[in-house]
């Protein structure tokens, strides 16, 4: 039982990470209808930035804030420079450009910092943090930090004029433009925010999976699953989806290991995590494309 | 009448293709005459280029001619390679028989994946295939299949030698074998596309609803195209198992699918000849990137490990801006503009 609770708790911690990346994906999706395949690699790149700052002697939190701000700027620049000219391009072009971004981020990070695994520190005190026997200090810290980030974003979008303008630009660009919102800059800001939230996720997860250029591959797939489960057009849904998928992932692995212990038959375990994500993605896309909380898109023919 | 002019327009092009095939068939025989220029290693390299061309051809049938985006063709390539390797290792299947075997099995897989893909379009299909490509290396390590697939270690094979006592080296023979398969598959693709079915495929790409209204069974065409496309790429995988004589899960990561994508985009989306050029291109870049990286590191003294994927990524983005019809198509267009 205790092991079960532990698994659930670490599922929540993973879920927090998925929730962040899923939220970043959703932020770009609602405003542009694009699925950002490079989101994971952008987050990985930001994580390397913070690692570099730390090796230059910066404090963890200083490096954290600096990397998040840098990612914000990079996100804005990518939107303005790379994606803006392709605004009316066909879907295939957009997908290809995202894959190009993914390849560039991955290979440049590998070129600068090498493909060797690096240890990444945890900022949370080992003692008097976390609940012994249930959740470790880093995992609890991850959950707390992501919840803080999500609350901040919620407050930003709900209660500030800029947040309102961004929501308007995403929901109805033409009307927003008529009332004086600079829609294209709002899209760029959305990209920046997405990159920043992704950076938070990357920096938080690097302590768990170790830092290397391919660390976000599996996490991105889980984030896709989370965003889809929650409904890819619903930010709150994406966060809920993240936690659901995180817990589900660990639950499946736990049940698999219990099954192996009791009956000796191996069906599923940690080695099949990505397959589970694939099944979730295809299942949701084909059976309930709107997800749990998304709105059903009705197309007029 | 229109047909006659079309055939006449094609006629000079056809002779041109026969010339290329003829030269490709003669060159390996020069190995005995000029061993420095035509070495076994170079023949092996050209063979891998032809394999890449077949794989990109498969992707182009689906994405270029039917409009279904796939980021996961590396998965079908992996299935083809593994089917061939397991058949040769476990069942002592002759290497040439693995080609139809892989084709049939990959057709099945592609057809099955095409069923859920029917409900997805654009970004969503890209997402589903992306997930497939990411998950495949893990699936190949699945514990129950370990007896067959050799788990993480993969399967080591031996290269087949020339039959009937032909005086050819293994690499020479595989070159001819691959060349034959490629020419046959290219011809088949060309004929499919210029048939009623091919026109239906393209009609679906251009406007699915209009095609539906015209009485085309869009669901059947789309799934079958997915199957054929997967079969092409699977055949490429099966040949690669014989040629490289080794398969392991980590050769089939997502980056393999990126390579197919670069082949598709460089050659031109919706161009058969372009697929061949695109396949050749990515193998060339992949191989020369290493020496370029050494040049940057040693001669320029920069602490930067250039990898082929940086080049690929930059190219993917630049091509989408400046030559959406592909490098080959773009160069041809430039050439025509200059000549005028």
Q: Do A269 and B132 touch (CB under 8 A)?
A: no
State the DSSP code for A271: G
Rounded to whole angstroms, how far apart are CA atoms A158 and A152?
A: 10
Q: Among A165-179, B26-40, B50-64, where is mean pLDDT lowest?
A: B26-40
Torsion angles phi and psi, residue B28, rounded to 5: -60, -25
Mutate to test the interface with A, among B56, B126, B136, B326 (most CBs of A within 10 A): B126
Using CA coordinates, name the residue in chain A closest to B210: A301
Task: Give Cβ neighbours of residue A258 (< 8 Å, ≥ 6 apart).
Answer: none
Convert the pLDDT of each residue in A181-222 to its tens digit: 888 888 889 899 999 999 999 998 888 888 888 888 889 999
The pLDDT-based confidence of B311 (bands split at 50, 70, 90) is confident
Chain B residues lying within 8 Å of A100, measured CB to CB: 312-317, 320
Convert the pLDDT of each residue in B297-308 to its tens digit: 777 766 666 777
Q: Note whether A233 and A170 are within 8 A (CB).
A: no
Residue B32 lies inside a defined structural domain of this protein = no
Restricting to B residues 304-323, those with a Cβ less than 8 Å away from any Cβ of A are 304-310, 312-317, 319-321
Rounded to whole angstroms, how far apart are CA atoms B129 and B122?
A: 11
Q: Do B316 and A217 touch (CB under 8 A)?
A: no
- The pLDDT > 70 percentage for chain A reads 93
- Note every long-range contact of B307-311, with CB atoms under 8 Å and residues 24 or more positions apart, other chains counting: B307/A107, B307/A110, B307/A111, B308/A107, B309/A103, B309/A104, B309/A106, B309/A107, B309/B255, B309/B258, B310/A103, B310/A104, B310/A107, B310/A108, B310/A111, B311/B285
Distance from CA of A107 to the nearest CA of B (A): 6
Distance of CA B56 to the CA centre of its chain: 3
pLDDT computed for residue A46 by the predictor: 93
Boundaries of domain holding A48: 2-214
Residue B34 lies inside a defined structural domain of this protein = no
Residue A110 lies inside a defined structural domain of this protein = yes
Residues B155, B113: one domain? yes
Q: What is the mean predicted confidence (pLDDT) over B309-337?
A: 81
Residues B252, B129: one domain? yes
Residues B129, B101: one domain? yes
Q: Note whether B282 and B53 are within 8 A (CB).
A: no
Query: In which residue ranges of chain A is pLDDT below 70?
Result: 127-133, 267, 269-271, 297, 299-301
Q: How many domains does chain A have?
A: 1
**B328 or B321, which is more confident:** B321
Boundaries of domain holding B12: 1-27
Mean pLDDT of chain B: 83
Residue B155 lies inside a defined structural domain of this protein = yes
pLDDT computed for residue A72 by the predictor: 94
Closest CB from A93, A110, A220 relative to B307: A110
pLDDT computed for residue A250 by the predictor: 86
Chain A residues lying within 8 Å of B265, measured CB to CB: 96
Residues B15, B44: one domain? no
Residue A257 lies inside a defined structural domain of this protein = no
- The pLDDT > 70 percentage for chain B reads 94
Using CA coordinates, name the residue in chain A closest to B126: A95
Whether the predicted pLDDT of B4 surpasses 60 = no
Instruction: Give the 3-state DSSP-derived string for B16-67, with helices as H, strands as E and coil as C.
Output: HHHHHHHHHHHHHHHHHCCCCCCCHHHHHHHHHHHHHHHHHHHHHHHHHHHC
Task: Output the domain CATH number for residue B298.
Answer: 1.10.3470
Q: Among A231-240, B10-19, B247-256, where is mean pLDDT lowest?
A: B10-19
Residue with tokens 């091919």: B198
pLDDT computed for residue B14 by the predictor: 67
Q: Do B138 and A285 touch (CB under 8 A)?
A: no
Whether the predicted pLDDT of B233 surpasses 70 = yes
Residue A260 lies inside a defined structural domain of this protein = no
Tokens for A140?
Answer: 């609890």
Torsion angles phi and psi, residue B156, rounded to 5: -100, 130
In B142-197, beta strands by DSSP E: 155-156
B226: nearest Cα among B110, B133, B69, B339: B110
The pLDDT-based confidence of B107 (bands split at 50, 70, 90) is very high
**Is B92 strand, coil or helix?**
coil
Q: Note whether B140 and B82 are within 8 A (CB).
A: yes
Q: How many domains does chain B have?
A: 2
Q: Do B134 and A112 touch (CB under 8 A)?
A: no
Residue A299 lies inside a defined structural domain of this protein = no
Residues B324, B239: one domain? yes
């Amino acid at each position: 039982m205790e092991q079960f609770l532990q698994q659930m708790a670490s599922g929540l911690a993973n879920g927090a990470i998925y929730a962040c990346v899923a939220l970043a994906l959703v932020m770009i999706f609602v405003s542009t209808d694009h699925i950002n395949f490079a989101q994971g690699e952008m987050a990985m790149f930001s994580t390397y930035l913070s690692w570099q700052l730390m090796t230059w002697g910066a404090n963890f939190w200083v490096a954290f804030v600096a990397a998040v701000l840098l990612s914000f700027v990079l996100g804005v620049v990518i939107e303005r420079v790379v994606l803006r000219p392709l605004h009316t391009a066909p879907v295939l072009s957009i997908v290809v450009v995202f894959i190009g971004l993914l390849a560039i981020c991955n290979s440049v990070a590998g070129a600068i910092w090498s493909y060797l695994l690096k240890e990444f520190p945890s900022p949370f005190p080992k003692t008097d943090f976390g609940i012994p026997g249930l959740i470790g200090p880093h995992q609890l810290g991850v959950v707390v930090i992501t919840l803080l980030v999500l609350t901040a974003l919620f407050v930003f979008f709900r209660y500030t004029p800029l947040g309102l303008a961004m929501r308007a630009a995403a929901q109805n660009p033409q009307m927003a433009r008529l009332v004086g919102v600079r829609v294209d800059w709002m899209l760029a800001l959305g990209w920046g925010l997405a990159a920043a939230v992704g950076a938070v996720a990357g920096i938080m997860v690097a302590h768990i999976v170790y830092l290397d250029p391919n660390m976000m591959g599996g996490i991105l797939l889980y984030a896709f699953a989370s965003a889809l489960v929650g409904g890819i057009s619903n930010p709150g849904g994406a966060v809920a989806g993240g936690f659901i998928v995180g817990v589900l992932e660990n639950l499946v692995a736990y049940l698999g290991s219990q099954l192996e212990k009791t009956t000796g038959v191996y069906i599923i375990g940690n080695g099949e995590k990505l397959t589970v994500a694939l099944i979730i993605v295809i299942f949701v896309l084909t059976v309930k494309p709107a997800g749990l909380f998304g709105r059903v898109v009705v197309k007029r023919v | 009448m229109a047909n006659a002019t079309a055939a006449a327009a094609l006629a000079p092009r056809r002779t041109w293709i026969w010339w290329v095939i003829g030269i490709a068939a003669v060159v390996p025989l020069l190995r005995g005459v000029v061993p420095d220029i035509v070495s076994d290693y170079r023949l092996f390299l050209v063979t891998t280029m032809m394999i890449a061309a077949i794989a990109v051809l498969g992707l182009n049938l689906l994405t270029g001619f039917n409009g279904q985006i796939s980021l996961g063709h590396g998965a079908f390539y992996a299935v083809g390679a593994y089917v061939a390797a397991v058949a040769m290792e476990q069942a002592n299947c002759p290497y040439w028989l693995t080609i139809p075997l892989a084709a049939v099995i990959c057709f099945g897989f592609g057809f099955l994946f095409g069923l859920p893909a029917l409900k997805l379009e654009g970004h969503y299909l890209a997402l589903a295939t992306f997930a497939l490509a990411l998950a495949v290396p893990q699936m190949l390590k699945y514990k129950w299949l370990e007896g067959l697939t050799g788990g993480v270690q993969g399967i080591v094979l031996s290269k087949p030698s020339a039959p009937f006592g032909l005086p050819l080296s293994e690499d020479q023979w595989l070159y001819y074998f691959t060349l034959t398969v490629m020419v046959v598959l290219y011809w088949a693709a060309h004929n499919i596309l210029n048939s009623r079915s091919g026109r239906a495929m393209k009609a679906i790409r251009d406007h699915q609803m209009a095609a539906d209204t015209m009485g085309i069974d869009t669901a059947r065409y789309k799934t079958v195209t997915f199957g054929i496309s997967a079969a092409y790429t699977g055949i490429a995988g099966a040949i690669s198992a014989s040629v490289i004589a080794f398969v392991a899960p980590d050769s089939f990561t997502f980056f393999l699918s990126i390579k197919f994508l670069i082949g598709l985009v460089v050659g031109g989306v919706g161009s058969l000849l372009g697929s061949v050029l695109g396949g050749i291109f990515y193998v060339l870049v992949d191989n020369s990137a290493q020496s370029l990286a050494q040049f940057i590191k040693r001669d320029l003294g920069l602490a930067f490990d250039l990898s082929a994927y940086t080049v690929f990524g930059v190219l993917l983005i630049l091509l989408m801006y400046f030559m959406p019809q592909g490098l080959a198509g773009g160069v041809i267009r430039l050439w025509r503009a200059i000549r005028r």
